Structure 1
Amino acid sequence: MSERKVLTKYYPPDFDPSVITRTPKHLRATGPKLLTVRLMAPFSLKCTNCGEYIYKGRKFNARKETTEEKYLNIPIYRFYIRCTRCSSEITFKTDPKNMDYTCERGAKRNFEPWREAKENEVNETMDETLDRLEREEGEREEREERDKMMELEEKMQDSKREMAVADAGCEEGIYDGWW
């Protein structure tokens, strides 16, 4: 049996190290560096080729590529996965600005109602947000004031009704013995 953890390599007697040619690092091919990673689908999507739904959380062996783009010095990555039914290529990349992912090709992202609400909020500036919050606060206070007035009016009408019932009872002689 051979040794499991080999510490030394066998060099034959006729080995000549000068025959081995090494290329310097700056002359080596530097193409897109694709790493294979295991990831889950970050959002629910539908393949445009076959119509297969791929749900959020489905695991894939994906190729990860670092793009030339950056957002605030944060690298943007592109992921390549394959459809589970038709094996067509689907690509999506990170979107650090919105803390999300964007689907590039091969699939269409399914509708998510909470994303639509978020997008509406994101389009506001800080001043617009402050104005909106102040306006909503004023409306809420006005509504509470109206509710208090309605409650007071209802109490007044209840007391009027009770007085009318008491007066009607006195006229008919029902309450004669009470006072």
Structure 2
Amino acid sequence: MSERKVLTKYYPPDFDPSKITRTRGPKNAGPKLMTVRLMAPFSMKCTHCGEFIYKGRKFNARKETTDEKYYNIAIFRFYIRCTRCSGEITFKTDPKNMDYESERGAKRNFEPWREAKLNEETEEERLDRIEREDAERDAMKELETKVLDAKTEMAIADALDEIRSRNARMEKTDREGVTTVAKPDAASEDRKRQEEEDAEAARRAFGSLGMPDISEEVIEEDMVDAPIAMPVVTTFVKKPKEKKDFGAALGIKKKAPAPAPAPQVKAPAPPSKLSTMLVAGYDSDND
């Protein structure tokens, strides 16, 4: 601690202050370097000694500004050294994928989430796929429309051929002077015959069942005046459940209730003298 507070310093005998001049050195023409403190952005394996360096490990790194750019975003390169063999490891930023890219000295470990993200389609690929699907969908729709049109044309052609053949047959019979009646279609005859058979089967099935007689009942005048016998309705009376004496079962004797005191009957008060005189006066015949 004493060396920090010295007031006098040692000057050698051949010291000449005039020889000390302030000079400017040449500027560094290479890439700009600066020392920074950072953490490993991804887990990696050193290619020199096989040491694993996990994500988040702190390093004193050299930061270099490269001439590469991505949409006017500068790309930086970082130099670190392996914690075991001091081998130099280099990685740089990747603004396109918002990540870091390992250059040399180490191999990045497998990260499933990163592989899945890289396998995802970009916006341009997604637009191309949508356009391709739309084109295929339109082609299928066009093909379906063509098939429906072809079926409609075939049905119309069949109907026209049938009409032509019938007209030709009728013209031939008219020339020969024979009146013909148009024959019914075989399909309609089969349908009519099937309906008749179904109706006959239903008639036989329902006719074999005995239908109940629901004719009206004749009510006579004597039956109207006759009293109506009311059915006997059974009533139930709820009987209170007797309580069991659990104390007697356990041998506990209850105290006999004390006799109730006899009610005291008050004797009537004797009549007063005034009331006696009044009653005697009313009972006399002189009044």
Q: Taking structure 2 as the reference length, what is the TM-score of the superposition?
A: 0.37
SS at match of 1:77: strand
Structure 2 Cα separation of the partners of residues 112 and 66 of structure 1: 27
Divergent runs of 4+, >3 A: 19-24, 128-132
Deviations 1:55-84 (A, max 9, x none): 000000000000111111111000000001
Distance 1:88 1:128, change over 3 A: same
Structure 2 Cα separation of the partners of residues 15 and 95 of structure 1: 53
Gaps of 5+ in 2: 6-15, 135-287
Deviations 1:18-62 (A, max 9, x none): x845449xx633222211111000000000011111000000000
Alignment of 1:5-16 (within 5 A): none
RMSD over aligned CA atoms reads 3.0
Deviations 1:66-111 (A, max 9, x none): 0111111111000000001110000000011110111000000000
Q: Which residue of 2 aligns with 1:146?
A: none
1:127 maps to 2:140: no
Distance 1:124 1:34, change over 3 A: same
Structure 2 Cα separation of the partners of residues 54 and 29 of structure 1: 33
SS at match of 2:69: strand
Deviations 1:124-151 (A, max 9, x none): 623146579x9xxxxxxxxxxxxxxxxx
SS at match of 1:81: strand
Q: Which residue of 1 aligns with 2:73?
A: 74
Distance 1:74 1:46, change over 3 A: same
Q: Which residue of 1 aligns with 2:93?
A: 94
Gaps of 5+ in 1: 5-13, 135-179
SS at match of 1:80: strand
Q: Which residue of 2 aligns with 1:43?
A: 42
Q: Which residue of 2 aligns with 1:107?
A: 106
Structure 2 Cα separation of the partners of residues 127 and 28 of structure 1: 50
Distance 1:129 1:117, change over 3 A: farther
Task: Output the amino acid matched with 1:51.
Answer: G
Structure 1 Cα separation of the partners of residues 58 and 66 of structure 2: 23
Structure 2 Cα separation of the partners of residues 114 and 131 of structure 1: 29
Q: Give the Å deviation of 1:15.
A: 7.0
Larger radius of gyration, structure 1 or 2? 2
RCO greater where, 1 or 2, for CA within 8 Å and sep 6 or more? 1
SS at match of 2:85: coil
Structure 1 Cα separation of the partners of residues 121 and 98 of structure 2: 12
Q: Taking structure 1 as the reference length, what is the TM-score of the superposition?
A: 0.58
Task: Output the amino acid matched with 2:65.
Answer: T
SS at match of 2:120: helix
Task: Output the amino acid matched with 1:127.
Answer: L
